[in-house]
Structure 1
Amino acid sequence: MIKKFEAALAGLLYTLRTQVNMAIHLGAAVAVFLLGYYFQLEGWEWGVLILTVTLVLAAETFNTALELAVNLSCPHYHPLAQKAKDVAAGAVLVTALGAVIAGILIFLPKFLRAF
């Protein structure tokens, strides 16, 4: 069982080391969590933020896995392989945009009251 967790951690670390977007997403997550602490978010707000951050990080990880699998199965350029990669990247974009919207809905009123 521990081997499975080690493999999962290795996959996460690989994604972080090789994907610039994963580092950007993690940096944004840290910033959002610090803002949440500063504004003393309510429990449901934390829940929404944790869920959206988790979805974005998972989508980025799935995207990386799909890109690796496509590259392995089709080492030369193929338009369908490119479409598969584009669709997976689009899924990351959808989750990231959803997270931004959730962040705006949660934080904008707090910023407006504070400043």
Structure 2
Amino acid sequence: MGKKSFFSSFGFAAEGIRYAMTTQRNMKVHGLAALIVIVAAAVLQVSTMRWLFLLLAITLVLTAEMFNTALEAVVDLVSSDIHPLAKIAKDTAAGAVLLTAAFAVVVGIVVFYRPLVELFGG
């Protein structure tokens, strides 16, 4: 594996991220939510540890959404017919995204609860 193929792999990865962000509605929603959370964390000056949890949650959700997109593409490539196993694969991948998004919501509540209470005088 030469330098060219090593550096090319970053380009391919960037293309995958671009594809997901520009074509997948849920990826756009998650990306917007991530941007809002990042801005809110900066404005509220959350601690380094809280930043780490927020960034972990954001990364997990975006990664799960990209795996879901990849799996759906492979299933569609392999099976043009509606098949019960294809449905199971797609539904399970979507469930993984839902679980990571639920985790992200819990992280957001834990991270932002105290700073928001302090901001609004509770």
Does residue 43 of structure 2 align to residue 38 of structure 1?
yes
Q: Which one has a bigger Cα radius of gyration?
A: 2
Write the distance in 1 (CA, Å) between the matches of 2:59 and 2:99.
13
Q: TM-score, normalised by structure 2?
A: 0.92
Figure out how many residues of one structure are paired with residues of the other and give that number.
115
**Residue 110 of structure 1 pairs with residue 115 of structure 2:** yes
Deviation at 1:77, TM superposition (A): 0.5
The correspondence of residues 21-60 of structure 1 with structure 2, limited to 5 A, is 21-60=26-65
The yes-or-no answer on 1:65 pairing with 2:63 is no
Which consecutive residues of structure 2, in runs of 5 or more, have no partner in the other structure?
A: 1-5
Deviation beyond 2 Å, 4+ runs, structure 1: none
C-alpha distance after superposition, 1:41-61 (max 9, x if no partner):
111000001111000000000
Report how far residue 2 of structure 1 moved: 1.5
CA distance in 1, matches of 2:106, 2:47: 18
Distance 2:115 2:51 in 1: 14
Shift of 1:18: 1.2
| Unaligned ranges ≥5, structure 1 | none
Rounded Cα–Cα distance in structure 1 between residues aligned with 2:15 and 2:111: 33
Equivalent residue, structure 2, for 1:74: 79
RMSD after superposition? 0.7
Paired-residue identity, %: 44
Match of 2:90 in 1: 85
